[in-house]
Amino acid sequence: MTKHIFITGGVVSSLGKGITAASIALLLKSRGYRIRMQKLDPYLNVDPGTMSPYQHGEVYVTDDGAETDLDLGHYERFSDIACERTSNFTTGSIYSTVIQREREGGYLGKTVQVIPHITDEIKRCISLLDSPDVDIAITEIGGTVGDIESLPYLEAIRQFRQAIGRDNGLFIHLTLVPYIKAAGEMKTKPSQQSVGILREIGIIPDILVCRCERDLSMEHREKLALFCNVNRELVIEEQDVKNSIYEVPVELAKQDLDKYVLELLHLHVKDLSIEKWKEMLRRTVEPVNGELEIAVVGKYITLRDAYKSIYEALSHGGSANDVRVKVRMIESQDIEKSSVEKLLEGVDGVLVPGGFGDRGIYGKIESVKYARTGKIPFLGICLGMQCAVIEFARNVCGFSDANSTEFNQDSSAPVIDLMDAQKKIVAKGGTMRLGAYDCVLSPGTKSRSAYGTDKISERHRHRYEFNGEYEKTLSGKGLVIAGRSPATGLVELVELEDHPWFVACQFHPEFKSRPMKAHPLFREFIKAALKKKKSDNPSK
Ligand code: GLN
């Protein structure tokens, strides 16, 4: 039987529930348990795919093509367990199912209500994780306890635990214990109140994880234990980590959080092995090769979360090369007001990530040119690859009007064009080319040598593609087609021959990078950047 852990958050948002949930998953997996994870989000969008990156941050894409919350990226990175469509539901998706069922006559004769119909549907979504090959399912409830939107979820998990029994399900509440500077004290009251709200709903947390800036004293632990009805040793401290989010599981393990979880679930406490994780952390925090700098030229730079997986994958690439990657975040529109030479000066590598719409395209194309002509290692991703192709067509092949039809429908050289399959699609939600597709790599390319294999599978999220009509001309001038979809012939990867490391892909490699298994393209990109840095500064 699959056991269940429910994680809720209190006091404020942005406490890092996703990272805490992912850390618990990593620890339990490291103790030999088979884990699955899920997030339930209380907003009305059916999925985050239609939201602006400024609203929601990155949209994380799974192999099976679901557009999901960025916390699933943490889940996959920490635990290296694949998420799928059933790993993320929203109030929008839950209501859609219920309303569709009502239209089909599924509730004939009944009044359809939040309780029991919506809560039943939430419970059905949770039980989708039940399986003979899953020992423990972890469900994170998005939002903050006390929000109106969260109520049906809290009621559903209360009922769910009631049905499976205390030995088979537990509640972990993540809360904030703020330090009040003027009083020189840490305060437990917000946590008490948040647990109070949960209690009114009928949930008493089994474990309290306290986010704090400073040490939680014994006195605070005792107070929280007393007022929140938890055992003192089950008041766990989660202090802000100094260097890397990958320190969180190690800190939680020091307090035996995972051991208590297993005891509460009446599961055998097997040995914990996280030595490799700690070695990865050493390379991340104290790398022997010092630091290098990569420019990320994006459109949504002001919101760090918008490129979450990119920044993480860069750090994995750094760790694999025992070097710290400092990111110079550049808003591509700023290049219009300043100059690319000024903004990119001195960087060891340039990464142009994905995006939508024509704002900031000029700056991205200028950045590609700067990396191409300056022989600076370059990685282009999705829109970044499309910009690389446009730049090459314009500046190497002489198509001065080359463009993507996303930005100029009347371009006389539409080197990037809407995919055929996309031409008839009107609806916006979930209609891009999404999820994992195979790609065959060309022999002798940098990509082929990075991956060490001919056939790969990578995740996609796009509508436009490399226009095959221009392939001959562009490759005649030196653009290497390094990877192609075996099913459709679609160009998936391009490279430059006469360049130390210039690779651009239509897919999103960042989603598959893991802290202990850096993605091959990120690993080789950073390796090339390190080589450049060493040859630029031979003394260092
Ligand atoms: N806007 C481009 C497309 O739809 C690129 C998408 C992306 O970068 N994810 O093809």
Say what the pLDDT of residue 303 is.
87
Residues 268 and 333 in one domain: no
| 448 CA to centre of ligand 1 in angstroms | 24
119 phi-psi bin (left φ>0, alpha ψ -120 to 50, beta other): alpha
| 383 CA to centre of ligand 1 in angstroms | 5
What token pair was written down for 347?
Answer: 């960087």
| 463 CA to centre of ligand 1 in angstroms | 6
Q: What percent of the chain has pLDDT over 70?
A: 100
| 381 CA to centre of ligand 1 in angstroms | 9
Query: In this model, does residue 255 exceed pLDDT 70?
Result: yes
> Please, are residues 83 and 76 in contact by the beta-carbon 8 Å criterion?
yes
Catalytic annotation present for 219: no
Name the one residue in this structure whose structure tokens are 């959080």.
Answer: 257
The residue among 244, 259, 278 that closes a domain is 278
Q: Which atom of ligand 1 is closest in space to residue 384's alpha carbon?
A: 8
Maximum Cα–Cα distance across the chain: 81
Query: In this model, does residue 43 exceed pLDDT 80?
Result: yes
Q: Which atom of ligand 1 is closest in space to residue 406's alpha carbon?
A: 1
Query: In this model, does residue 290 exceed pLDDT 70?
Result: yes
Tell me the pTM. 0.94
Catalytic annotation present for 210: no
Query: In this model, does residue 13 exceed pLDDT 90?
Result: no
Q: Is residue 310 part of a domain?
A: yes
Domain that holds residue 396: 288-417+464-481+490-536
> Please, are residues 135 and 3 in contact by the beta-carbon 8 Å criterion?
yes
What is the number of domains present in the chain? 2
CB 406 near ligand 1, within 6 Å: yes
Q: Is residue 234 part of a domain?
A: yes
Residues 95 and 64 in one domain: yes
CB 355 near ligand 1, within 6 Å: yes
- β-sheet bridge partners, residue 493: 483, 505
CB 464 near ligand 1, within 6 Å: yes
Catalytic annotation present for 460: no
DSSP labels, 180-227:
ETTTTEE--HHHHHHHHHHHHHT---SEEEEEESSPPPHHHHHHHHHH
Query: In this model, does residue 540 exceed pLDDT 60?
Result: no
Q: Which atom of ligand 1 is closest in space to residue 353's alpha carbon?
A: 8
Catalytic annotation, pick one of 155, 508, 519, 524: 508
Residue range 260-270, pLDDT digits in tens: 999 999 999 98
Residues 293 and 265 in one domain: no
**CA 245, CA 479: separation in Å to the nearest integer?**
39
Say what the pLDDT of residue 513 is.
97
CB 490 near ligand 1, within 6 Å: no
CB 459 near ligand 1, within 6 Å: no
pLDDT tier for residue 425 given thresholds of 50, 70 and 90 = confident
> Please, are residues 522 and 321 in contact by the beta-carbon 8 Å criterion?
no
| 141 CA to centre of ligand 1 in angstroms | 30
Q: What is the CATH number of the domain that holds 149?
A: 3.40.50.300
Residue range 295-322, pLDDT digits in tens: 999 999 888 899 999 999 999 999 999 9
Query: In this model, does residue 426 exceed pLDDT 90?
Result: no
Give Cα separations from 533 to 142, 349, 446, 472 (angstroms): 42, 9, 19, 35
Say what the pLDDT of residue 87 is.
97
Q: What percent of the chain has pLDDT over 90?
A: 89
Residues 11 and 141 in one domain: yes
Residues 360 and 218 in one domain: no
Q: Is residue 31 part of a domain?
A: yes
Q: Which atom of ligand 1 is closest in space to residue 464's alpha carbon?
A: 10
Mean pLDDT (the chain) is: 95
Residue range 138-158, pLDDT digits in tens: 999 999 999 999 999 999 999
Residue range 104-117, pLDDT digits in tens: 999 988 999 999 99
Catalytic annotation, pick one of 83, 125, 210, 382: 382
Query: In this model, does residue 453 exceed pLDDT 60?
Result: yes
Query: In this model, does residue 539 exceed pLDDT 90?
Result: no
Residues 89 and 172 in one domain: yes
